[in-house]
Chains A and B, each alone.
Chain A
Amino acid sequence: MQSLSNRKKVVSDKPMNFMEKIYLPAILGGMWITFKHLFRKNNTVKYPEEQRVFAPVYRGMHVLKRDEQGRENCTACGLCAVACPAEAITMEAAERVKGEENLYREEKYAATYDINMLRCIFCGLCEEACPKEAIFLTDRIVPSEFEREDFLFGKDKLVEPMNARIDVTKRQHTGQRGTK
């Protein structure tokens, strides 16, 4: 059959000649190759001090978005929890009462919203399922912890703070509200 990649090599088990049998030329050749690597630039990114640049669509830690007036978008419809293949998302819904219009965008909101970061597989299906553009994955890394309980991220860690808004405009699933 014709080779498609042109990299096909025919394997042969012909007996080794003398130079191959004494191994030494091959060993010295290999040592020369590793020696050249001594002077190469290393590829290490020293993580806590410097961070690799992520793609804008990188699927990292989640954020629960607020709208322009600072109201939470999430209405606790539960579609993200249904879509989640790892069953990492749980939430409790509550009804908005009078006087909370500046906190929550619609009449229903999530009283608690938990993502278990140890269960999450960062597939982004919650982001895709969300009809209210409330949950997004971001290019932030989930910080490491020592205890399992600390990986249960509640609203305190997920909802974006007003003074440090998180930009998700470069992501694939951002669209004008209602057109998604």
Chain B
Amino acid sequence: MDSGLIIEKLVLVAIIFSISLLIAMYATYFERKVAAWFQDRIGPDRAGPFGILQPLADGVKMFMKEDFIPSHSDKWLFILGPGISMFTSLITSAIIPWGEDLTIFGNTVALQVADFNIGILFIMGVLSVGIYGIMIGGWASNNKYSLFGAIRASSQMISYELAMGVSVITIVMMTGSLSLKDIVQDQHGMNWNIFYQPVCFIVFFVCALAETNRAPFDLPECESELIGGYHTEYSSMKLGFFLFAEYVSMFISSAIIAILFFGGYNFPGMDYFSGNALAILSIIAFFTKIFFFIFVFMWIRWTLPRFRFDQLMHLGWKSLIPIALINLLITGLVIALNKGWF
């Protein structure tokens, strides 16, 4: 491998890393703003104009707080938990195709850190590892509420990952590839998967809400019953990491929803552009979609009340998995008929 490629990828990694963190930072600000708008309030407006320095103030507050480790906790696992959460949320951004190829100084730069041929499997795998952060954190706290939160998180994850996997398989069957780049290129222009697979989209979206522990599926951290769930015992920046990881994974989930169902960086009328103009417009299109879905995530959070745990399990096992399986079956039949296999 030549050194130019390594430098190119390192720069790309640094940019994507900082963009993910920046967006997650401002997602916390917009979460509070959106909540305020939905509740006829103004929201944070004291730190800087319109309160845009609020995330910095929050960060400073988190750092200044006492970093407390309970004496009965398993110290190393306690520290490891938030780290795993943050690491796994960030690592998925590596395989997301952010736009069409960019040409810089005569070099073609692919706006994707790594184009795995099994990209979507990688994402499912990393998402499953992500739950270990919550589980280990909850377990190491040595607190019954934390443990309850961790148990809820893991059972929720198991129930919803199945339906999510099946709906992803449906998309993979339509595309014929596991690579995210291929999935995006297959939806060229306005040929988005949402028009072919609306049911699949709904199943995937509900599962994405559950996987990111967002309302109405935020049972692992439900304040009214579990004090704070898995992060009851956490304080200072360790708590900040847990909360921040949620926003990073919200950003990544929005990106994946946009890739699988809304054409990724494709936009209608993209054939009229070429070269760097196309690349930049495609990046803008992709981020517009991501921001829209982040807004929808927040919109849902400030609209719906939390599910009861039995309702959550009922929805996962008895509704979403059968729907996803039937959808998979019908899609398979239609593909087989189209290819004339019967």
Q: Are A34 and B41 in contact (CB under 8 A)?
A: no
Report B-chain residues with C-beta under 8 Å of the C-beta of A31: 299-300, 303
CA distance A24 to B300 in the complex (A): 12
Nearest chain-B residue to A43 (Cβ)?
B40
Which residues of B in the span 17-45 have a Cβ within 8 Å of any Cβ on A?
36-42
CA distance A40 to B37 in the complex (A): 8
Which residues of B in the span 288-307 have a Cβ within 8 Å of any Cβ on A?
299-300, 302-304
Which residues of A in the span 28-60 have a Cβ within 8 Å of any Cβ on B?
30-31, 33-35, 37-38, 40-44, 46
Report B-chain residues with C-beta under 8 Å of the C-beta of A24: 202
Q: Which of B36, B202, B299 contacts A34 (CB 8 A)?
A: B299
Nearest chain-B residue to A36 (Cβ)?
B38
Which residues of A in the span 1-50 have a Cβ within 8 Å of any Cβ on B?
24, 27, 30-31, 33-35, 37-38, 40-44, 46
Which residues of A in the span 41-88 have a Cβ within 8 Å of any Cβ on B?
41-44, 46
Q: Are B304 and A40 in contact (CB under 8 A)?
A: no
Report A-chain residues with C-beta under 8 Å of the C-beta of B40: 37, 40-43
Q: A30-B303, A31-B299 are in contact. Are A44 and B38 (CB under 8 A)?
A: no
**Nearest Cβ distance between residue B33 and chain A, in whole angstroms?**
11
Nearest chain-B residue to A29 (Cβ)?
B303
Nearest chain-A residue to B39 (Cβ)?
A37
Which residues of B in the span 273-317 have a Cβ within 8 Å of any Cβ on A?
299-300, 302-304
Residue picked from A27, A42, A43, most chain B C-beta under 10 Å: A42
How many residues of A sit at the interface, in one of the four size bands?
10 to 19
**Nearest Cβ distance between residue A47 and chain B, in whole angstroms?**
11
Q: A24-B202, A30-B303 are in contact. Are A37 and B38 (CB under 8 A)?
A: yes
CA distance A40 to B39 in the complex (A): 9
Q: Are B37 and A37 in contact (CB under 8 A)?
A: yes
Report B-chain residues with C-beta under 8 Å of the C-beta of A30: 303-304
Q: Are A43 and B41 in contact (CB under 8 A)?
A: yes
Q: Are A34 and B42 in contact (CB under 8 A)?
A: no
Q: Are B304 and A38 in contact (CB under 8 A)?
A: no
Nearest chain-B residue to A30 (Cβ)?
B303
Q: A24-B202, A44-B42 are in contact. Are A38 and B37 (CB under 8 A)?
A: yes
Which residues of B in the span 35-81 have a Cβ within 8 Å of any Cβ on A?
36-42
**Nearest Cβ distance between residue B69 and chain A, in whole angstroms?**
30
Report A-chain residues with C-beta under 8 Å of the C-beta of B300: 27, 31
Q: Are B299 and A35 in contact (CB under 8 A)?
A: yes
CA distance A128 to B39 in the complex (A): 40
Q: Other than the known A42-B40, A46-B42, what 13 A-B pairs have Cβ atoms closer than 8 Å? A: A27-B304, A30-B303, A30-B304, A31-B300, A35-B299, A38-B37, A38-B38, A40-B40, A42-B36, A42-B37, A42-B41, A42-B42, A44-B42
